[in-house]
C-alpha cells in the first residue's frame, strides 16, 4: 500500500486527489493532510481518511492526530517517511514546501507551477525527479516516452483558451465572466490565468525546467475542445499526443500509480461525440501576458520569479474588484520594468526577490475607494 501526503487537501487538486484515494482504498493510505487553516472541510477529511499527521499554518489541537504547524512544521513534514507527496498548494505559498521536499529527496508530484518556476534557477538539477500533475505536463511526460530526448523536434502545449480566446473586446470582462471556464474546474487564480493565457505562459517556463527543453522547441496552441493535452513532435515527423476528457483526476491518478494505470471513474472520451478537434494560433496582442511570459523565460535569471509574483498580486487585485481584467497585464509589465535583481543562486535569493517584488507592487499601487490609485 502506498502512503500519501496531500498538501493543499481542501483545494481543487487536493480534493480530486482524495477522489482517487476513494477509488483505490486497498492501494492508497493518506498519511498526512495539509491545509492553511482548520475548516469544516478539513475536519471532514480527517474523519474520513484518518491521517496520522495534519499540517496547519497556525497551530491548533486536533484530537487523535499529530499536528505540525509553522516553519518548523514544514521542516518536520519534509522528513516524514511517506511514499509520495502531492503538492496541490496554489500560488507562491507552495514554494517553501517544494524546496524542502526536494532538498530532502522526497518523491514529489506537483501541480504547483509557481514553485517550479521560481526555484528553477537554483534547484533544476532536482527536477527530473518530479512527477508533473498539470494535465499538459503529464501529457508531455507520457508522450516523451515514445522516443529519445535528443530526437525531440518540438513540444506543444495545448490551451483551452479560457472563455475569451475568440472574444474581441476584453475591456468590460467581469470577475464572474473570467471565472466561467468552459472546460476545466479549477481554483480562482488559475482560472483567471487561463482566461488571460498567463497560465500557458507559465506552463511554457515550467516545461523548460521540468524537461530541460530549450524555449525554441516549446510552442503553445489554442485547442478549445481540451481533449489533446500535449504533443511531442520527433525529428522523423511523428507527433505523439495524449488525449482524454478534461478531468484532472486522470493526471493525478497517473502521478500516483506510475508506472501502472488505475481505474479513475472519470468519463471516457467519445470521439464520435467530439466530432472535430480545432487548433488556433494564440493572439499575443490581445493576450500580452503570454508574450511577457515567453520573454521572461528566455531572459531567465530573476525574471520568471518576478513575473510569477507580479501576476499573483495583479490577479488578486482583479478578484477583489480593484482593477479591470485588461489591467492585469499592464500591472505585471510595469512591475517587470521596475525590477532589477541579481540572478538567484539559492533559496534565500528567491525569497528576497519575491519580497522585493511585493514591495515594488505596494509602492506602485494602492487602493482608494475600491480602485487602484
Encode pLDDT of 203-252 as tens digits: 999 999 999 999 999 999 999 999 999 999 999 999 999 999 999 999 99
Query: Does 167 have pLDDT greater than 90?
Result: no
Residues 28 and 17 sit within 8 Å (Cβ to Cβ): no
β-strand pairing of 228-234 with 152-159: antiparallel
Kindly indicate the confidence band of residue 58, based on its pLDDT and cuts at 50, 70 and 90: confident
Q: May I ask the CATH class of domain 2-129?
A: alpha beta
Residues 56 and 69 sit within 8 Å (Cβ to Cβ): yes
Query: Does 368 have pLDDT greater than 50?
Result: no
Lowest mean pLDDT among 181-185, 192-196, 236-240: 181-185
Q: List every span in the chain annotated with CATH 3.40.50.720.
A: 2-129
Query: Which of the following CATH numbers is that of domain 301-373: 3.40.50.620, 3.30.470.20, 3.40.630.30, 1.10.1740.10?
Result: 1.10.1740.10
φ, ψ for residue 259 (rounded to 5)?
-90, 5
Q: List every span in the chain annotated with CATH 1.10.1740.10.
A: 301-373
Mean of per-residue pLDDT scores for the chain: 93
Query: Does 149 have pLDDT greater than 50?
Result: yes
Is the dihedral angle over the CA atoms 355, 361, 362, 364 positive or is it negative? positive
The C-alpha cell at 183 is 472546460
User: What does the alpha-carbon distance between residue 126 and residue 148 come to, in Å, rounded to a whole number?
Assistant: 20
| pLDDT at res. 17 | 97
Cβ count near 39 (within 10 Å): 12
> What average pLDDT does the segment 146-162 reach?
94
**Of all residues in the chain, what percent carry a pLDDT higher than 90?**
80
Amino acid at each position: 500500500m502506498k502512503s500519501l501526503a496531500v498538501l493543499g487537501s481542501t483545494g481543487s487538486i487536493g480534493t480530486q486527489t482524495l477522489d482517487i484515494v476513494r477509488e483505490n482504498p486497498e492501494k492508497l493510505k493518506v498519511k498526512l493532510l495539509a491545509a492553511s487553516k482548520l475548516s469544516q472541510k478539513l475536519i471532514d477529511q480527517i474523519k474520513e481518511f484518518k491521517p496520522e499527521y495534519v499540517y496547519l499554518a497556525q497551530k491548533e489541537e486536533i484530537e487523535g492526530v499529530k499536528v505540525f504547524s509553522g516553519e518548523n512544521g514544514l521542516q518536520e513534514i519534509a522528513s516524514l517517511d511517506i511514499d509520495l507527496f502531492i503538492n496541490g498548494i496554489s500560488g507562491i505559498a507552495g514554494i517553501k514546501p517544494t524546496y524542502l521536499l526536494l532538498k530532502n529527496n522526497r518523491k514529489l508530484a506537483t501541480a504547483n507551477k509557481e514553485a517550479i518556476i521560481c526555484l528553477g534557477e537554483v534547484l533544476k538539477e532536482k527536477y527530473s525527479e518530479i512527477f508533473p500533475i498539470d494535465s499538459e505536463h503529464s501529457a508531455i511526460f507520457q508522450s516523451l516516452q515514445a522516443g529519445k530526448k535528443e530526437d525531440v523536434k518540438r513540444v506543444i502545449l495545448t490551451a483551452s483558451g479560457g472563455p475569451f480566446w475568440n472574444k474581441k473586446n476584453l475591456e468590460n470582462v467581469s470577475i464572474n465572466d473570467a471565472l466561467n471556464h468552459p472546460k476545466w474546474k479549477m481554483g480562482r487564480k488559475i482560472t483567471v490565468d487561463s482566461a488571460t493565457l498567463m497560465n500557458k505562459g507559465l506552463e511554457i517556463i515550467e516545461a523548460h525546467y521540468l524537461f530541460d527543453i530549450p524555449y525554441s522547441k516549446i510552442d503553445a496552441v489554442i485547442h478549445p475542445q481540451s481533449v489533446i493535452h500535449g504533443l511531442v513532435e520527433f525529428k522523423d515527423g511523428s507527433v505523439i499526443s495524449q488525449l482524454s476528457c478534461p478531468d484532472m483526476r486522470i493526471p493525478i491518478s497517473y502521478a500516483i500509480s506510475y508506472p501502472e494505470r488505475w481505474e479513475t471513474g472519470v468519463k471516457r472520451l467519445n470521439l464520435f461525440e467530439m466530432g472535430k478537434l480545432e487548433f488556433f494560433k494564440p493572439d499575443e496582442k490581445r493576450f500580452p501576458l503570454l508574450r511577457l511570459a515567453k520573454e521572461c523565460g528566455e531572459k531567465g535569471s530573476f525574471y520568471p520569479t518576478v513575473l510569477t509574483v507580479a501576476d499573483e498580486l495583479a490577479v488578486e487585485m482583479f478578484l477583489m474588484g480593484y482593477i479591470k481584467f485588461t489591467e492585469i497585464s499592464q500591472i505585471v509589465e510595469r512591475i517587470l520594468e521596475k525590477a532589477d535583481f541579481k540572478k538567484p543562486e539559492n533559496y534565500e535569493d528567491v525569497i528576497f526577490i519575491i519580497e522585493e517584488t511585493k514591495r515594488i507592487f505596494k509602492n506602485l499601487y494602492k487602493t482608494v475607494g475600491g480602485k487602484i490609485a
